[in-house]
Amino acid sequence: MGEIQNIVILTGAGVSAESGIDTFRDAGGLWEQHRVEDVATPEGFARDPDLVLRFYDMRRAAIQAKQPNAAHHALARLDAEWPGELLIVTQNIDDLHERAGAKRLIHMHGEHLNAWCTGCDTRSPWTAPLIDRPACPACGVHGHLRPDVVWFGEMPYRMEEIYRAINRADLFVSIGTSGAVYPAAGFVREARASGARTLELNMEPSQGNHWFDEARQGAATWLVPEWVEEMLGG
Ligand code: APR
């Protein structure tokens, strides 16, 4: 690859799959077991808050038992050692990138281990269940805490920063995402428009596969360490 200074990496559920966290659209994935409309929309939450809170309580508990995998560790190493600009934009709400040591990271779909008080608008670190309507750590009011997760129809977080980074990127790499959900699925086209090279690392060709200059198929724990070695001249 030509002179590469600035890298943007988009990750999706495929990066956490080998840590034992279900993806959404693979066989047996989360959206096969639950209707998106019921558990991942503001309307679903308004209709049946207990169903939604239990869904996220179960997933919040599950991810705390999981460990980062070789793909998370390789990305954290690249983050630590890459001399140019680097940003990991994750669609995942688990904290495995952080636990592997990643620093330059944005959770565009929110974070499992945060709770958002719709009363005082404060986001607080949160690892416990929400079903029993605990008090907000900031304002003390019960019953206003919801998962700090971006639901369908809601605006993803820190999009300005993300587009600024993409517009400066020389290389855009998409890892473990199906390219089914916007705006993340459109990032590759933004990157191409700003002249970046584009690479997809995924178990199978994503829906946006044809937009990538290069695509490699395989497991993230195999493809990502190999790619990071290439980038660091290992
Ligand atoms: N290694 C690499 N890729 C994998 C692996 C693996 N071990 N396992 C699965 N994949 C790939 C699948 O082939 C698929 O293309 O990861 C992708 C997972 O796609 P999705 O399940 O759609 O997850 P994601 O793309 O992250 O979903 C995006 O949709 O439901 C919303 O908000 C949710 O953030 C999520 C968004």
Segment (H or E) for 107: strand 105-107
Mean pLDDT lowest among 29-38, 143-152, 166-175: 29-38
Catalytic residues, which ones? 109
Report pTM: 0.97
Say how many Å lie between the CA of residue 15 and the centre of ligand 1: 8
Strands 86-90 and 7-11 turn out to be parallel
Secondary structure letter of residue 136 according to DSSP? P
146 forms bridges with which residues in the sheet?
A: 116
**pLDDT band at residue 32, thresholds of 50, 70 and 90?**
confident
Q: How confident is the model at residue 59 (pLDDT cuts 50, 70, 90)?
A: very high
Would you say residue 71 has pLDDT above 60? yes
Q: Which residues line ligand 1 (CB under 6 A)?
A: 12-14, 17-18, 23-26, 29, 91, 109, 176-178, 180-181, 202-204, 206, 219-220
pLDDT-above-90 percentage for the chain = 95
Please name the residues in contact with 91: beta carbons below 8 A apart, sequence gap of 6 or more: 10, 11, 12, 13, 108, 109, 177, 181, 184
How confident is the model over 194-226, as pLDDT tens digits? 999 999 999 999 999 999 999 999 999 999 999
Could you give the dihedral angle defined by the CA atoms of residues 118, 121, 127 and 131, in that order, rounded to the nearest 10 degrees? -10
Residue nearest to atom 10 of ligand 1 (CA): 14
Task: Please choose from 56, 178, 209, 216 the residue to mutate so as to test ligand 1's pocket, defined by most ligand atoms within 8 A of CB.
Answer: 178
Distances (CA, A) of 14 to 51, 105, 124, 130, 163: 26, 17, 27, 27, 23
The predicted pLDDT at position 104 comes to 98
